[in-house]
Chains A and B, each alone.
Chain A
Amino acid sequence: MPPTFANLGDEAVLDIQGLRQLLEVLGNEGYRVLGPTLRHGSLVYDHLPSIDALPRGWGDEQQGGFFRLRPLQEPRFFGYGVGQQSWKQFLYPPRRRLWQARLQPDGLQILPVDEDAPKFAFIGVRACDLQAIAVQDRVFLEGPFIDPHYRARREQAFILAVNCGHACGTGFCASMGAGPKAASGFDLALTEILEGDRHYFVAAVGTERGRQVVSQIPHRKAEAAEQEAAARTTAQAAREMGRTLDTGDIKALLYRNYENPQWDRVAARCLTCGNCTLVCPTCFCHTVEDSSGLTGEQAERRRRWDVCFTVDYSYLHGGSVRATPRSRYRQWLTHKLATWIDQFGVSGCVGCGRCITWCPVAIDITEEVRAIRESEESGVRGQGLVTKQKTENDKRE
């Protein structure tokens, strides 16, 4: 057993061998180790048998509606940003059986799904996705009702965060207070540093569970110069970030602008495909599907991610509440950035930029907010809640 020094809040230094052993320790402790890897030329999160499965030496290029993997000059393990997937697919799976039912001679019988929640170790969770997990925790764990399946997976998950050394092409995590440096919510947070021929990781210890894992691998206390190198790395990512979203007064801004003509302009481009909701790490909407077996004696209910861009989503007998693309885009953006704050006390956006990258027509949430803000500044404000109230009061008086 190597000597251990690391305490909560400390920073340790690991080398590549240390990272290799770290994944081994997690595997030996029964975790299903998941992390970024390349499949069919795409960046996905999947099982990591060892650090050799990480996309070492690969980076990414992202723009609105554009994602390409690019080889890097440096052999970095974590030289890319976030891809189309997020960790929500593991904590809150896209499809899940909720229960099965049997029709017995004496009636309906409901059979719960007995599931031993998988024990995940997430490798390479970026600051934006850490915040996204914290946001989904509020949704699934803090309401009057909780999702016990989410809780079972969440409580056991080991989170190894990685601080970003360069900014995603479409990200704006700094605007949303999420990144690029992981602030909390991790067991361990690594900063990868390549200086000349030195390649090492500065590991911040966030929890007792993280400390125990580090204590099993060779490490030493980070020196001041190494800590500074780590700080420079994340500062560089923050400097590079090309996008911003002005969140000042944003709830009131959007509440005032329900009838802004900008919604018509974006609706003319929006395909209502719902890609943005599927890649969004905080979108939590789901629907249920009931089915029965051919003999009519068995049935089951499944839950799957749902998309607020479909007409079906708001269907009530007689028709859909949000029949037009304009109202559905408005619902998505206003929910994400405004009503979410009333519902859960935080923004539903973490600035990861996925909705921009994976939108087939490159609609940019930061541009849409800017357009609304600027239209207001230039006095073209459409009718929203406040103006509406005024007109009504005027009428009454």
Chain B
Amino acid sequence: MLNALADPMLPAPFRVLKVNRETGDTFTLTLAPAAGEPGFRFAPGQFNMLYVFGVGEIPISISGDPDQPETLVHTVRAVGAVSRAICGLKRGETLGVRGPFGVPWPVTKAPGWDVLVIAGGLGLAPVRPAVYHLLARRPQFGNLELIYGARTPEDLVFRQELMHWRGRFDFRVHVTVDTAKGDWRGNVGVVPNLISRARFDSEHTMALICGPGVMMRFTVQELLNRGVKMENIYVSLERNMKCGLGLCGHCQLGPVFVCKDGPVFSYDRVRDWFLLREV
């Protein structure tokens, strides 16, 4: 007889406490275990496998505050069958959670360093726990900057929080959109173009990047041009995943499994495969 606890494929039921609409198709869900031990501990950058009854299971990064483990927070964009079902959940309903999985952002190595957090689109969700972690320990770090871009002003997630962060004197926040109507008074342009505005000592700078592939490629190139070392640039990668355990094979990128060796990688480790097509 198998010990049920030993089977990492078994989801645990979590209850939806709150649903916030971020944009037209993106929702933030606050969850708590439906039974058993309360709370959920994780490290910034880790992800869970979220299961909706009878529909399916997908990997979703944790977007909440690691210092507030009482609840589990996920931000999901409705793009497929499962993500649509997750976004359709109502307060009080339950879903299955397996995790946390994966290698986190190297925030514990960051004290004494300048840190650039760079996100595109929903890529802000996986880096938000790192931002929480860094801001909660702000005096430990050098300069701290966030560069965030979305397609349009309507696609910006965590708007209130961005405004709040921008009000701080110890955190520089740059926001840009690819395209906007005339009523947008902010920056228009792609994320890599904003890197020239960031202030950092390239020798002692750590960059945490999450976003679409093309955005990450150009961002990395820009950082390398500015002298940031390859091993200090961290990217969070995305692949098809069925297990989260390193067993199903789907998330391979060359020699690495994104689920267990990542999703956060130092750029020097994945560069060769990152630059190839269809690997």
Whether A107 contacts B260 by the Cβ 8 Å rule is no
Number of interface residues of A (CB under 8 A): 64
Give the chain A neighbours of B239 by CB distance below 8 A: 314, 316, 321
Asked if B246 contacts A144 (CB within 8 A), the reply is yes
Chain A residues with CB below 8 A from B256, complex form? 343
* Interchain CB contact under 8 A, B272 and A388: yes
Q: Are B54 and A292 in contact (CB under 8 A)?
A: yes
A99 touches B247 (CB 8 A): no
Q: Are B248 and A101 in contact (CB under 8 A)?
A: no
- A313 at interface, CB cutoff 8 A: yes
B-binding segment of A28-36, A161-169, A199-207, A322-330: A322-330
- Minimum CB–CB distance from B69 to chain A (whole Å) comes to 21
> A81-122: contact bitstring with B at CB < 8 Å (1 yes, 0 no)?
000000000000000001101010011111010111000000
Q: Taking the complex as formed, is B182 at the interface, i.e. its CB lies under 8 A from any CB of chain A?
A: no
Instruction: Write out the residue numbers on chain A whose beta carbons fall within 8 Å of the beta carbon of B83.
Output: 317
Q: Is the CB of B12 within 8 A of A306?
A: no
Closest-by-CB residue of A relative to B225 is: A396
Contact A327 B95 (CB under 8 A): no
Q: Which residues of B contact A110 (CB under 8 A)?
A: 10-13, 96
Do A313 and B240 touch (CB < 8 A)?
yes
Interface-side segment among B1-9, B37-45, B137-145, B154-162: B1-9
Interface residues of chain A: helix, strand, loop or mixed (majority) = mixed
Select B9's contact among A99, A101, A321, beta carbons within 8 Å.
A99
Residue B279, interface by CB 8 Å: yes
B93 within 8 A of A: yes
User: Does any Cβ of A come within 8 Å of B107's Cβ?
Assistant: no
Cβ of B250 and Cβ of A342 under 8 Å apart? no
- By a CB distance below 8 angstroms, the chain A residues around B240 are 313-316, 321
Inter-chain contact total with CB atoms closer than 8 Å: 149
Q: Given the complex, which residues of A lie within 8 Å of B57, measured CB to CB?
A: 288, 290, 301
Contact partner of B278 (CB less than 8 A), chosen from A106, A291, A321, is: A321
**Cβ–Cβ contact B93 & A143, under 8 A:** no
B204 to chain A, nearest CB (A): 21
Chain-B contact segment, one of A146-154, A181-189, A268-276, A359-367: A146-154
Query: B34: CB under 8 A from chain A?
Result: yes
Query: Which chain B residues border A306 with CB–CB below 8 Å?
Result: 242, 248-250
Residue of A nearest to B16 (CB): A107
Chain B 182-218 near chain A by CB (<8 Å), digits 1 or 0: 0000000000000000000000000000000000000
Bound CA–CA A115/B7 (angstroms): 12
A107 touches B15 (CB 8 A): yes
Chain A residues 269 to 310 lying within 8 A of chain B, measured CB to CB, are 284-288, 290-292, 296, 299, 301, 303, 306, 308
Give complex CA distance A227, B7 in Å. Answer: 46
Contact A108 B80, beta carbon cutoff 8 Å: no
Q: Are A313 and B250 in contact (CB under 8 A)?
A: yes
- Knowing A296-B54, A321-B278, A388-B276 are in contact, say whether A109-B13 is a contact too (CB < 8 A): yes
Q: Within 8 Å of chain B (Cβ to Cβ): is A331?
A: yes
- Contact flags (1/0) for B235-279 with A, using CB distance below 8 Å? 000111011011111101011110010000000000011011111
B136 at the interface (CB under 8 A from A): no
Residues of A within 8 A of B246 (CB): 143-145
Q: Are A139 and B10 in contact (CB under 8 A)?
A: no
On whether A299 and B249 interact (CB within 8 A), knowing A112-B2, A148-B2, A389-B272, the answer reads no
B228 CB to closest chain A CB (Å) equals 13
Residue in B8, B56, B249, B276 whose beta carbon sits within 8 Å of that of A308 in the complex: B249
Which of B7, B248, B252, B277 is the one whose CB lies under 8 Å from A335? B252
A287-B250 contact, Cβ under 8 Å, with A99-B9, A292-B53: yes
Q: Is the C-beta of A258 less than 8 angstroms from some C-beta in chain B?
A: yes
Pair B1/A114 contact, Cβ less than 8 Å: yes
B257 adjacent to A108 (CB under 8 Å): no
Q: Which residues in B have their C-beta under 8 angstroms from that of A296?
A: 54
Contact A324/B278 with A143-B247, A147-B247 known, Cβ cut-off 8 Å: yes
- In addition to A148-B3, A313-B250, 14 A-B residue pairs with Cβ atoms within 8 Å of each other are A107-B15, A110-B96, A143-B245, A143-B247, A145-B246, A149-B2, A258-B276, A286-B249, A288-B56, A290-B56, A306-B248, A316-B240, A321-B239, A396-B224
For the complex of A and B, 3 pairs with smallest distance between CB atoms: A292-B54, A107-B94, A285-B249
User: Could you show 19 A-B contacts with beta carbons less than 8 Å apart?
Assistant: A98-B9, A98-B10, A99-B9, A108-B13, A108-B96, A110-B10, A144-B260, A285-B249, A288-B243, A290-B54, A290-B56, A317-B80, A327-B278, A331-B279, A338-B255, A343-B257, A385-B272, A388-B276, A389-B272
Residues on B facing A (Cβ under 8 Å): 1-4, 6-13, 15, 34, 51, 53-57, 79-80, 83, 93-96, 224, 238-240, 242-243, 245-250, 252, 254-257, 260, 272-273, 275-279
Residues of A that sit less than 8 Å from B by CB: 98-99, 101, 103, 106-110, 112, 114-116, 139-140, 143-145, 147-149, 152, 255, 258-259, 284-288, 290-292, 296, 299, 301, 303, 306, 308, 313-318, 321-324, 326-327, 330-331, 334-335, 338-339, 342-343, 385, 388-389, 392, 396
